[in-house]
Amino acid sequence: MTLVAILSGAGVSTDSGIPDYRGPRGLWRRDPEAEKLATYAYYMADPEIRRRAWRLRRAGEIWNARPNTAHRAVAALDKRPGFAVRVITQNVDGLHQLAGTPERKVLELHGTARTVVCTGCGARTPMADALARVEAGEADPPCETCGGVLKSATVMFGQRLDPGVLAKAVAIAKASEVFIAVGTTLQVQPAASLAGLAAEHGARLIVVNAEPTPYDELAAEIIREPIGTALPKLLARLR
């Protein structure tokens, strides 16, 4: 059984209509102010930032997005005999699961946009419920349990990753025989360091990304082709 770990970044979901952040046409490059919406200190301190964030969530591309060929190729590899697949994703869109990769095999390093969490009491509710409240006129809906500030259950800038999730990701990286970093600039730590960790522990590191990454020199193979065609071809030829 070959353990294949796939670290997926925003580039995997761009063919589904979800823009990336740091790419040539990424959200942060087009609108540097938008980064404040994902920064915990700004979000908690400024009600206007929160109102803008809720408007952006409500209009977000994620709700109409469907898994693309890359997501489906990962799910297909998981069903092939001889492979154990684990997905470590920096994405918060849930598209790997929608494509058919079992939830227990997907580690969401940066959380999920499909759930809301209260910063006060920690209560979790579906994002759809919160967006319905925004639609009904609540510009910055408070927690219905304690009145605290609600945010998406994603890891914002200034917040730590869930230590349990990170520990699992580290263990998978160390144990993997093939580690594929796809659609990620490998610039955001500690997620990016997983690629180096895998290579140090003997994994064959493959980087699939449009632009160079800091870990390219450790890679056994670098692919610059579009992800929607490159990843399915790569996974199909794995032996």
Alpha helix (H) residue ranges in 46-186 = 47-58, 69-79, 95-99, 127-135, 163-175
- Active-site residue flag, 110: yes
| N residues, the chain | 239
Chain Cα centroid distance, residue 38:
14
Q: Which helix (H) or strand (E) holds 96?
A: helix 95-99
CB of 43 within 8 A of CB of 120? no
Q: Which of 71, 96, 110, 201 is catalytic?
A: 110
Radius of gyration of the chain (CA): 18
Q: Smallest Cα–Cα separation from 220: which of 202, 204, 209, 235? A: 204
Active site amino acids: 110
